[in-house]
Amino acid sequence: MFKHLLLPTDGSEASQATLLNGVRLAKEFSARITGISVVPEFHVLTFSAAMIEDTRDVFVAESRAQAQRNLAMLSKAADEAGVPCETEVVLSDHPYEAIIRTSDSRGCDLIMMASHGRRGVQAVLLGSETQKVLTHSKVPVLVYR
């Protein structure tokens, strides 16, 4: 059915569970996987006080290292299951755009991603990258809860 799954992760427990289930699904479909982690751009005003002292290079290096750690679990699980897997770290302030752009450029035919289940005011204030992908993607999106 599907031959190339895109599995985004932000390192959260929900997205890590989605990655493991994505590997199982890919194995059933004899599909390959691309894992993606989107790293935010460096800004002087930041959500983490510890980052204020960082330089752009330090911030990007540490963010990329964390993204690689997030994707390492996917690579290991895919390798153990015998599923072809590539990973990519993308720098963007708009994760949903990076996810869709990667899906298009890599020829993915399914995006499988987590929903954090935010509702009400929290969903309005924080937004939902999953909702944005659902709204803008040209390929099917499987949301895992």
Q: What is the dihedral of CA 103, 135, 30, 65, to 10 degrees?
A: 50
Token pair 């040209």 in the structure block, residue: 138
pTM: 0.86
What is the predicted pLDDT for the residue at 44?
Answer: 64
Name residues of the chain where pLDDT drops below 50.
124-126
What is the predicted pLDDT for the residue at 56?
Answer: 78
Tell me which H or E stretch contains 10.
none
What is the predicted pLDDT for the residue at 126?
Answer: 45
Q: How many CB atoms lie within 10 A of CB 118?
A: 15
- The three-state secondary structure class of 62 is helix
CATH homologous superfamily, domain 4-144? HUPs (3.40.50.620)
Token pair 């510890």 in the structure block, residue: 50
Q: Where do the structural domains in the chain lie, given as residue ranges?
A: 4-144
Angle 22-28-29 from CA coordinates, rounded to 5°: 90
Residue 128, amino acid: S
What is the predicted pLDDT for the residue at 45?
Answer: 60
What is the predicted pLDDT for the residue at 125?
Answer: 45
